Amino acid sequence: MKDLLVIGNGMVGHRLVQAVRDRDAAGAWRITVVGAEARAAYDRVALSSYVDGVSAEELTLPELDVELHLGDPAVGIDRDARTVRTESGRVFRYDALVLATGSVPFVPPVPGRDLPGCFVYRTLDDLDAITTAAAEAMAADRPGRRSAVVVGGGLLGLEAARALRLLGLSPQVVEIAPRLLPVQVDEGGGALLRRLVESEDLQVRCGVSVTEITRDRDRLIATLSDGVELDADVIVFSAGIRPADELARRAGLPIGERGGVLVDARCRTHDEAIWAVGEVAALEGRTYGLVAPGYAMAEVVADQLVGGSATVVPAEIDTSTQLKMLGVDVASFGDAHATTPGALEVVVNDPVAGTYSKLVVSDDAKTLLGGILVGDASRYGALRALVGQPLPADPVALIAPGGVDLGTDALPDSAQICSCNAVSKGAIRTAVESGAHDVPAIKACTRAGTSCGSCVPTLKKLLVESGVEVSKALCEHFDRSRAELFEIVSATGIRRFSQLIARYGRGRGCDVCKPAVASILASLGTGHVLDGEQATLQDTNDHFLANLQRNGTYSVVPRIPGGEITPEGLIAIGEVARDFGLYTKITGGQRIDMFGARVEQLPAIWRRLVDAGFESGHAYGKALRTVKSCVGTTWCRYGVQDSVELAVVLELRYRGLRAPHKVKAGVSGCARECAEARSKDFGIIATEKGWNLYVGGNGGFSPRHAELLASDLDTETLVKIIDRFLMFYIRTADRLQRTAAWIESMEGGLDHLRAVVVDDALGICADLEAAMEAHVANYSDEWRGVLEDEEKLARFVSFVNAPDTPDPLIRTRVERGQPVPVGMPEVRR
């Protein structure tokens, strides 16, 4: 038996071992792995999920049959004796040695970079240290927001910024390049990305660098090249990586011009007994900082070790990436920057919708070479698989709104669906034909979707187009869909999550199924959302019946049906805002929002409002928010129907109605459409004969116009159809699915919806109407429910051991005559 020694226990080293074990049926290799980190191999691609609450154990990769030595880095290679010495003094011999040492973070030579409070963002230990520092900063007794500076606006830099924000800090990103993600996106995509990221409350500074870091008492000061000084509690360097090639250098192995161990197409170094894979390998002088090329190298070396002749073709290495950065979809694939001679660029830039799409095509516009997607990356899977293939349609039609919908039937069998693991459409189709009838089975057979996961939507499409019904499981704890769980809860009378998961699920639940079941229970009128066990299922907003804001305070929105309010009501709201020092603003839905309430103040605020005749506006819930209206025939000379009265009737009818997502409505008194009804989940426009009902619209990130469902309805018929529409949506939509997406995903779309709720094709309209009548009859105000229950009131404290003590971290300043949160870190010049 021969000895294979692998130095490095990261994702690529782990894949190499796995690939050798898969191929070495004769057991010719005894494998030893030496790792510098004390932890076993883990998923570094999902590193930021550690801050989201995913445990280190959940990130750990499967255990393999190897002799594993962790926390003991290799320090020397004796190529003549074929041995490796570790820091502890151990000596391992090898017949074949694979260097999988990965990379190390690049920290610019900035004076002060080693000061306490400065970190890199690379390992779980780094995240532990950052988390501790952030917690200490948040606990410090001093005014102002807790802040952070991230040096680097690339992939990891934006990941670090997101993680720091989750830890409660306010991050600013400093990027020396003129745009964010300079490797992945171009100037146009970078401009939109910056705007979208900044709209998520993240400050970005491009085209500047950090020149010095100093300490000012308990704060760090980062001085930028333009003279600006940024205060920070924490500074994180994420300015790129460098190959961890020091061990190879000391062993005398040739190194690439920009670092990395030089390897040939077999991933072999100058020494025939030594290979290098992943970020430490310089293939034809170039290193790759992505997992997919590393996996490709690992597979090639594994094949070589068992006698094969596989090689890596640099031109075929896929450097595509897809990610969601601070809520913004970004994807880049193929020749994204049009470096191919004669390449043409086709761009569709829609700043209103917040999307940027670019395709790079050959000089005859017949072959796709690459592309960039910002804001909407839903076409990434299909487009990436078409790289190098003939275009199935005009390139503009492939990226324009309402253009060609790319199905997997447009892809040849040779198209690569999973670039991380080099899995083609043909291989996946073969797996499906052999019995892999769900995504987990395809993953097990082909490894597709087991790395970054960006190809999973395409796997589902392939299953559907192969005639296989895709699982609609809500999550890993429930095999049934949300709609099926709704019917189960409705039919069985189950009223507790613990009962439901014990009978129809497994485990303890998660942040997917718990809020979904909470919504189902609330939709069925099973009592107050904070009653007993149900209270533990709610997210932060529902848990306190108010909207959490950026500085830890809450906003309060009383219901104002149809936007109609008396002077006495206005005075009452004004007095509450004045007495509690709240910031007030008129919302887009014709309501008044009061910001800045501390959690312990909420009951007192509600009591004042309830006594004045107000109730919860459910701005915090996945529920009916508002029915907006114009003034209609009451005042307007163009109005043809009383839009205000109808809006008030509808809002009072549907108030408190819990749904898969928020629901907004509007009523316009004439075709001039002043209430913007066609941008709502359901909208009503008056006609000379009655009302036109539109459904499936929404504003937000991807605005959509509602479509006409029925026309010239009398008021009684209109209300009945809306009853049916809303209850059918609540029963059948997926979790967090707006009405627009629900209708789009429905087989038959609007025509099917019309058949069900207008024509009663399924014979369920009477049942839907009865369900709505039950909701109307059982409605009660959630704020009043808290005020009448001492046990619920006890939840509303900042500190359990000091219930009357306000949160000392909450600070405000006055702006335009109103209190606002203390803003981003002070900028000094």
The binding site for siroheme comprises: 674
Question: Under 8 Å CB-to-CB from 20, ≥6 apart: which residues?
Answer: 4, 29, 31, 302, 305, 306
User: In Å, what is the CA distance from 390 to each residue of 20, 229, 270, 415, 703?
Assistant: 36, 52, 39, 11, 32
> Residue 556 — left, alpha, or beta (φ > 0 → left; ψ -120 to 50 → alpha)?
beta
Three-state secondary-structure class, residue 722: helix
User: In Å, what is the CA distance from 691 to each residue of 643, 668, 679, 694?
Assistant: 10, 9, 16, 10
* Six token digits for residue 647: 């809006």
Phi, psi for residue 267 in degrees, rounded to 5:
65, 25
Q: Which residue in the block uniquely carries the two structure tokens 């001492």?
A: 790
- DSSP for 679-690, written as a single string: GSSEEEEE-SSS
- DSSP for 808-825, written as a single string: TT--EEEETTEEEE--SP
How far is residue 208's CA from residue 224's CA, in Å, rounded to a whole number?
Answer: 6
CA 754: distance to chain centroid? 33
Residue type, position 408, single letter: T
Instruction: Show the beta-strand stretches assigned E in 87-191.
Output: 91-93, 96-99, 103-105, 118-120, 147-151, 170-175
Residue ranges for the binding site?
630, 636, 670, 674
How far is residue 274's CA from residue 74's CA, in Å, rounded to a whole number?
Answer: 15
Question: Under 8 Å CB-to-CB from 675, ≥6 apart: which residues?
Answer: 628, 629, 630, 643, 647, 666, 667, 668, 669, 683
Of all helices (H) and strands (E), which one includes residue 20? helix 11-23
In this structure, the dihedral spanned by the alpha carbons of residues 476, 480, 481 and 484, taken in order and rounded to 10 degrees, is -150
Please answer whether residues 167 and 273 qualify as being in contact, where contact means their C-beta atoms are separated by less than 8 angstroms: no
How far is residue 286's CA from residue 267's CA, in Å, rounded to a whole number?
Answer: 12
Instruction: Show the beta-strand stretches assigned E in 25-131.
Output: 29-34, 67-69, 74-78, 83-86, 91-93, 96-99, 103-105, 118-120
Residue type, position 496, single letter: R
In sequence order, what are the beta bridge partners of 729?
none
Q: In angstroms, what is the C-alpha Rg of the chain?
A: 30
In sequence order, what are the beta bridge partners of 475?
478
How far is residue 15's CA from residue 297's CA, in Å, rounded to a whole number?
Answer: 10
In sequence order, what are the beta bridge partners of 355?
350
Among 183, 510, 184, which residue's Cα sits nearest to residue 329?
184
How far is residue 165's CA from residue 237's CA, in Å, rounded to a whole number?
Answer: 15
User: In Å, what is the CA distance from 549 to each residue of 138, 360, 538, 583, 818?
Assistant: 16, 42, 17, 12, 16
Residue type, position 5, single letter: L
Residue type, position 724, single letter: R
How far is residue 318's CA from residue 454's CA, in Å, rounded to a whole number?
Answer: 13
Instruction: Show the beta-strand stretches assigned E in 493-604.
Output: 547-548, 554-556, 583-586, 592-597
Reported residue count of the chain is 829
DSSP conformation class of 40: P
Residue type, position 691, single letter: W
Residue ranges for the binding site for [4Fe-4S] cluster?
630, 636, 670, 674
